[in-house]
Amino acid sequence: MTAPIREQLDDPDSAVESGARKMDWARQHMPIMAALREEFEDDQPFAGERVGMAMHVEAKTAILAEVLAAGGAEVAITGCNPLSTHDDVSAALDAVEGVTSYAKRGVEDDAYYDAMAAVLDHEPTITVDDGMDLVAMVHEDYPELLDSIVGGCEETTTGVHRLRAMAEDGALDYPMFAVNDTPMKRLFDNVHGTGESSLASIAMTTNLSWAGKTVVVAGYGHCGKGVAKKARGQNADVVVTEVEPRRALEAHMEGYDVKPMAEAAAEGDVFITTTGNRDVIVSEHFDAMQDGVLLANAGHFDVEIDLDALEATAVETYEARDGVQAYEMEDGRRLNVLAEGRLVNLATPVALGHPVEVMDQSFGVQAVSVRELVENGDDYEAGVHDVPDDLDREVAEIKLEADGVEFDDLSGEQREYMDSWQHGT
């Protein structure tokens, strides 16, 4: 049975102090969460609800959890990746009234899932997931909760993919909002957040420059676009690999060098996978790579780089730096894997995840989606649902107001014109 994090730490008080400082910094830069907190404190929309969360437990996520608690929810939270938790933030969050945190960095698989079970022992009425592990566990191990769960929210692309597959199998038994798919999330968090934070984490972890390097970006979806754009902005030459013809064409028209991984493997200095798929970099690619390459993954699970194959071919492996494992091949080449092939922007020892402002938007959408489930949950059947567009707009408007940005409104005539089919030439 997993205990809350403060019971697991030797010096919980100093952890709480350090985590609280990080949360305070994040809070200062999250105007959307501040506005929603004010509303929730007054209205108490979540009174009587229990929210179970499995997310990257660091400062920004902590603000989402405390805002839900401020709105009356009882919150239980754990990590959604064994390396992305910040123990001090987890402890500080556990000290917030109405919140229990079980997240601990670096736990083995068993302890990771035990912590998730501890969250479900709180019998949540709403789940908030990043990767869908919590939803999977509810359906597999806690079916008795299905009747009382109103619905849930999913943060990331891979989680939404898994949920859609589950719904298609007729196996998803409650409504889930695809928070990932909203413009306010995907066009900012996946693109700018992943781009900025992946490059920052790689640079900080290795102390190496981007300028003059060839960076191979696998996948030109939302995350890949951000990574490619920011890498180019750092004076790197960018090569893109894709499997989807329109995405490949988009990358080509954007001026990137598009080629198969089999060719790119020999050219790259840094490889960053962003596909959400498995086995993107495998043995034949390792064989072609140059000495000293960096291999990093920004997709949700640690399956994009075939580490088993790398381990099997390497004659030696050693920790080259904190967060960098070197694999030495028979011919003396060293291939360097960051963060054990897990999300590089969250799982290296220095990783901080996305910038605060970006997560303010993503978590703003999470918070209003939870509110929608509580207010109108009966309107949604079991399955995957788009977040209603007016909620996404609401979050955008709060952000624009906070940043002092004014924008135009449609006039009555314009609205009528846009809605009509009669007006032609």
Which residues bind to ligand NAI, rule: CB under 6 A?
156-158, 190, 194, 218-224, 241-244, 247, 274-277, 280, 298-300, 343, 345
Residue 344 CB, nearest distance to ligand NAI (Å)? 7
Residue 137 CB, nearest distance to ligand NAI (Å)? 18
Q: Is 255 helix (H, G, I), strand (E, B) or coil?
A: coil
Question: What angle do the packed helices 133-141 and 157-168 form, to 10 degrees?
Answer: 30
Residue 89 CB, nearest distance to ligand NAI (Å)? 17
- Specify the residue, 101 or 273, whose C-beta has the smaller distance to ligand NAI: 273
Residue 243 CB, nearest distance to ligand NAI (Å)? 4
Q: How far apart are CA 119 and CA 104, in angstroms?
A: 13
- Specify the residue, 199 or 223, whose C-beta has the smaller distance to ligand NAI: 223
Residue number with the smallest Cβ distance to ligand NAI: 221
Residue 152 CB, nearest distance to ligand NAI (Å)? 16
Residues 294 and 206: beta-carbon distance below 8 Å: yes
- Specify the residue, 194 or 205, whose C-beta has the smaller distance to ligand NAI: 194
Residue linked to tokens 């300028």: 211
Question: What angle do the packed helices 356-376 and 31-43 form, to 10 degrees?
Answer: 30
Q: Estimate to the nearest angstrom the gap between the alpha carbon of 143 and the chain centroid.
A: 26
Residue 299 CB, nearest distance to ligand NAI (Å)? 4
Residue linked to tokens 């596909």: 275
> Which segments of 212-315 are extended strands (E)?
214-218, 237-241, 257-258, 270-273, 294-297
Q: How far apart are CA 257 and CA 272, in angstroms?
A: 15
Residues 202 and 215: beta-carbon distance below 8 Å: no
Q: What is the 3-state secondary structure (H, E, C) of 40-99?
A: HHHHCCCCCCEEEEECCCCHHHHHHHHHHHHCCCEEEEECCCCCCCCHHHHHHHHCCCCE
- Specify the residue, 21 or 247, whose C-beta has the smaller distance to ligand NAI: 247
List helix spans (H) across 154-253.
Answer: 157-168, 183-185, 194-206, 222-233, 245-253
Residue 54 CB, nearest distance to ligand NAI (Å)? 14
- Specify the residue, 74 or 130, whose C-beta has the smaller distance to ligand NAI: 130
Residue 16 CB, nearest distance to ligand NAI (Å)? 26
Q: How far apart are CA 210 and CA 315, in angstroms?
A: 29
- Specify the residue, 145 or 280, whose C-beta has the smaller distance to ligand NAI: 280
Q: How far apart are CA 262 and CA 416, in angstroms?
A: 54
Residue 276 CB, nearest distance to ligand NAI (Å)? 3
- Specify the residue, 8 or 157, whose C-beta has the smaller distance to ligand NAI: 157
- Specify the residue, 122 or 278, whose C-beta has the smaller distance to ligand NAI: 278
Closest by CA to 407, choosing from 388, 390, 423, 393, is: 393
- Specify the residue, 100 or 275, whose C-beta has the smaller distance to ligand NAI: 275
